[in-house]
């Protein structure tokens, strides 16, 4: 496959290659380990934190990073956190890496990160995130629904991706990246990933009986409370209708997802009767 000498030009794959993309091997949370050539990261199942990771190289504006959720433990609160930093990961060093991206990193300069709703992080779910030229952090989840997670990312300096394997999200796999402008550029090709093993995830909440953890018989408190998520991040979400992808999603279904415009909500309710995201019945 060869090595890419820079993100400007790959001697093996040509000028349409963005360069190799993996997790930074020198700066990792204390409870995670890497595999599959540094593209898969897994957190210790006994904890919900210390899962901070960074991209191995700076990523470009509008470069869409493609991830797949590998493992999920529902007995924790919260889930994956995504963002960017203009500080090289190597500048903080592994000994100074905090437990969480939010609020440990985001309360300091040049770090931007936002939580992703737990309902969008089931095993096997594929997602993309990127930063726009205007400094907007955008997340694209299942069914291509796009969310504006936050604004104000400084795009004037090189940016490294932040991927905090937090809470319910126990393992993720980097599938590559893509950037479109006049042409399409991709990260270096990688071997096809193995299938997701659903048996290794704890789906206790979906099964209706939250399991006991080493923390006790309750779900640990997430530092990002539900109220804060609802009032700040979710209010600013760019909700495109999951069906027509053109009108703003304005209808909140009985499962809690706001993913349909009024017109499509009537049609989906009449024809299918289930939420297009979680497949629960619409009451």
Residue 173 near residue 67 (C-beta atoms within 8 A): yes
State the average pLDDT over residues 47-65: 96
Whether the model pTM is above 0.75: no
Residue 103: cis peptide before it, omega within 30 degrees of 0 = yes
Read off the pLDDT band of 187 (50, 70, 90).
very high
User: In order of start, what are the domains of the chain with their CATH numbers?
Assistant: 23-186 (2.60.120.920), 239-282 (3.30.40)
- pLDDT bin (cut points 50, 70, 90) of residue 31 is very high
Q: What is the mean pLDDT of residues 111-132?
A: 91
CA pair distance 180, 201, nearest whole angstrom: 35
Helix-, strand-, coil-residue percentages of the chain, each rounded to 5: 10, 30, 55
What is the rounded average pLDDT for all residues in the chain?
82
Reduced 3-state DSSP string for 216-232:
ECCCCCCCCCHHHHHHH
Read off the pLDDT band of 84 (50, 70, 90): very high
Longest dimension (CA), the chain: 57
Report the percent of the chain where pLDDT is more than 70: 80
Q: What angle is formed at CA 212 by the lines to CA 29 and CA 115, rounded to 5 degrees?
A: 40
Q: What are 220-270's pLDDT values in tens digits?
A: 444 433 333 333 444 344 457 777 767 777 787 766 677 788 888 888 888
- The pLDDT of residue 3 is above 50: no
Q: Are strands 160-164 and 126-131 parallel, antiparallel or unpaired?
A: unpaired
CA 27 to chain CA centroid, Å, is 19
**Any residues with CB less than 8 A from the CB of 120 and at least 6 apart, and which?**
79, 127, 141, 142, 277
* Gap between the terminal Cα atoms of the chain: 52
| CB burial of residue 218 (10 Å; 0-12, 13-18, 19+) | exposed
Q: How far is CA 266 from CA 19, 84, 87, 263, 282, in A?
A: 46, 38, 47, 6, 11
Residue 184 host element (H or E): strand 184-187
- Closest Cα to residue 27, out of 4, 60, 46, 50? 50
pLDDT of residue 142: 77
pLDDT at 276: 77
């Amino acid at each position: 496959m060869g090595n890419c000498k820079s993100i400007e030009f790959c001697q093996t794959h040509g000028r349409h290659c963005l360069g190799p993309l993996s997790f930074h091997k020198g700066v990792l949370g204390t409870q995670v380990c890497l595999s599959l050539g540094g593209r898969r990261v897994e957190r210790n199942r006994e904890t919900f934190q210390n899962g901070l990771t960074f991209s191995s190289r700076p990523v470009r504006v509008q470069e869409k990073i493609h991830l797949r959720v590998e493992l999920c433990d529902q007995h924790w609160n919260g889930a994956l956190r995504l963002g960017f930093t203009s500080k090289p990961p190597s500048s903080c060093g592994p000994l100074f890496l905090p437990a969480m991206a939010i609020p440990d990193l985001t309360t300091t300069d040049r770090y931007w990160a936002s939580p992703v709703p737990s309902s969008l992080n089931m095993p096997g779910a594929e997602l993309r995130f990127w930063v726009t030229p205007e400094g907007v952090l955008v997340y694209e989840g299942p069914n291509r629904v796009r969310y504006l997670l936050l604004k104000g990312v400084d795009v004037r300096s090189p940016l490294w991706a932040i991927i905090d394997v937090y809470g319910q999200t126990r393992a993720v796999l980097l599938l590559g990246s893509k950037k479109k402008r006049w042409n399409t550029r991709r990260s270096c090709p990688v071997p096809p990933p193995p299938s997701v093993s659903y048996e290794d995830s704890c789906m206790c909440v979906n099964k209706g009986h939250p399991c006991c953890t080493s923390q006790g018989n309750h779900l640990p408190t997430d530092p990002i409370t539900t109220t804060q998520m609802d009032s700040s991040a979710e209010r600013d979400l760019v909700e495109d209708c999951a069906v027509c992808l053109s009108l703003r999603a304005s209808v909140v279904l009985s499962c809690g997802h706001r993913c349909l415009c009024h017109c499509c909500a009537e049609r989906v309710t009449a024809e299918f009767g289930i939420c297009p995201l979680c497949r629960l019945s619409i009451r």
